[in-house]
Amino acid sequence: MAMGNLPPFEDRDAYGGFFPALLQTWVGACFRPTEFFESVGNSQDLTPALLFGVLVGWISVVVRAAWSLVFQAPLVPIMRQEEIAGLLAGGVANLVCAGLFGWLLVLLGILISGVIVHLFLMLFGGANQGLTMTLRVISYAYAPQIFAVVPFVGWCIASIWMLVLEIIGLAAAHRTDTWRAALAVLAPVILCVCVVGVLYGAVIVAILTGAHRP
């Protein structure tokens, strides 16, 4: 289906209602990103974009919590009765918390990452539209999060795919150069990796130094 002036999720009547529009939006964001994010740039309405991102992210959080509970099952035969009760209670509590509050964590993640990316986009001269547009892009770029439900490798696939969509989306929606969008998305990631690396290095040096003291 050809993409219209707006993402399908923002023109639900034209796509047959809530769930067909949700599916078409997911397909467009994941597999036709250039065309899709050009349509994202045609509106400043943040609510449907946030709703889409939160829904997809929330589903991912809940399913991963359920998988965590399932993967604990092989441990049951080798555990004592009280240990089994504690394991199950922890797993169920994690699943319940994911169901009740997972949406809030996803929402905060979208807002915080959106602000950070927008600041870097401004730094590199690519923010031709406001923060609202960046948040719209980040929200719709959450589409691949659904792949995070695949055990073991899903989170890696989803994370890389999201970064690619964010770069394509920012370039298309902000009408800016791809290299500016790439720097805005990748710079915070690289910075975080460097900070974590320095901290780990400092801890290792401190441990080794302490071990060699008389």
pLDDT in tens, 70-92: 777 676 677 777 777 777 778 88
Tell me 79's DSSP state. Answer: S
What is this structure's pTM?
0.88
Q: Confirm whether 25 is domain-assigned.
A: no
pLDDT per position as a tens digit, 155-180: 999 999 999 999 999 999 999 999 99
Q: Confirm whether 174 is domain-assigned.
A: yes
Helix axes 46-71, 81-123, angle to 10 degrees: 150
Residue type, 31: F
Around Cβ 47, how many Cβ atoms within 10 Å?
Answer: 10
Q: Confirm whether 67 is domain-assigned.
A: yes
Distance between CA atoms of 136 and 14, rounded to whole angstroms? 21
- The whole domain housing 150 covers 47-211
Q: Confirm whether 14 is domain-assigned.
A: no
Q: Confirm whether 18 is domain-assigned.
A: no
CA triple 148-48-28, angle to 5 deg = 55
Q: Is the pLDDT of residue 106 over 50?
A: yes
Q: How many domains does the chain have?
A: 1
